[in-house]
Each structure stands twice: as structure tokens, then as C-alpha cells.
Amino acid sequence: MSWSAITADDVLQEWNTKEPALIANQQAAADNLPVILARAVARVRGAIRAGDYPLGLEGTVPDQVIDSVIAIARWRLLLSLPEVNESMLSKSRKDDYEEAVARLERISQQKENIEPPDGSPVAAAAGNWNSENKIVPRAHPVPPPATQSQQPAPALRPYANPDAPEDT
């Protein structure tokens, strides 16, 4: 998978054959779709950025979230029309929009990974405890002698309760 730019034609392919003509009649001379699509792409890229994932080229999104971008753009376009046929504002389209927004929330919280733009493997989201290198490379700074031992000698270990009796 890769990152791609989405065009207005990609969104229009998701409609049935009669709906693009109805939308064009509603909009008259104005075509809101490119602006709404740009906002949807910016919203998805913002969620990716909030999740601290790397971004691809400007205006591109990962292929794995194209459906979410289209669902957001489609619903926002329908809401921007002055008179909309109730069949166009179907429950399934609203559910698609709500799922897309929920997915963006999961991405921004790093609960769903995003494919990196260069195709490199996806790193773990966060919380890599004890991730210090076990084999210290040559360029790694040498730790001071006091910290080189993994386990300090028993005499050097401080007690949690210094007033307690010593171990025997």
C-alpha cells in the first residue's frame, strides 16, 4: 500500500448513477466538492499528525484511509446542499461518516497504526519499556562505571524503609 492523492472523481465514483446529476443541479454553478474534499484530506492528515505518525507528500493520504476520506467528503457535501433528497441522506452514509470520524480519533490516539509514507515497517505505537540497547554500539556513549552493573551489590541497595531491621 502507499499514499495517494484523492480527486473529486474518486468521490463521485462512490455515488449511484443518478446522484451526481442531482448534486450538480443543487449546486448550480458552484462546485463545493473540491473544497470539501481538501478539508477532509486536511482533517485526516491532522489526525495522522496528532498521532505522531510521519506524513507523506502534501495532499496525500494512506490508501488504508481513503474510504474514510470519501465518507467524510460525501457526508459533508450532502449537508452543504440546500435541498437534499432524503434517500441521499441515508443512515448507512451517516454511519460511514461516524465510523470515519471514530477511526480518525483512534489514529490520533495511536490505537490504530498508519502505514508510513516510505513503505518502511510500522513501529510500535508507544511504551517501549526497557528499550535501551543491550549491545552498546560504538557510537553510544559509555555509561559511567557506577551505572555499568545491572545489579548493584547487596550492600549498595538502599532499603525502602531504612529504619527496618537488617536482613540476616
Of residues 144 and 53, more confidence is placed in 53
Every domain of the chain and the residues it spans: 3-108
pLDDT over 90 for what percent of the chain? 25
Q: How far apart are CA 153 and CA 84, in angstroms?
A: 77
pLDDT exceeds cutoff 90 at 43: yes
The pTM assigned to this predicted structure is 0.65
DSSP summary character for residue 147: G
Q: Taking a C-beta distance cutoff of 8 angstroms, is the pair 100, 72 a contact?
A: yes
Q: Is it the case that residue 127 has pLDDT exceeding 70?
A: no
Report percent pLDDT > 70 for the chain.
Answer: 67
Report how far residue 69's alpha carbon sits from residue 47's, in angstroms, rounded to the nearest whole number: 12
From CA 86, how far away is CA 105, in angstroms rounded?
A: 28
The region, left, alpha or beta by phi > 0 then psi within -120 to 50, assigned to residue 52 is left
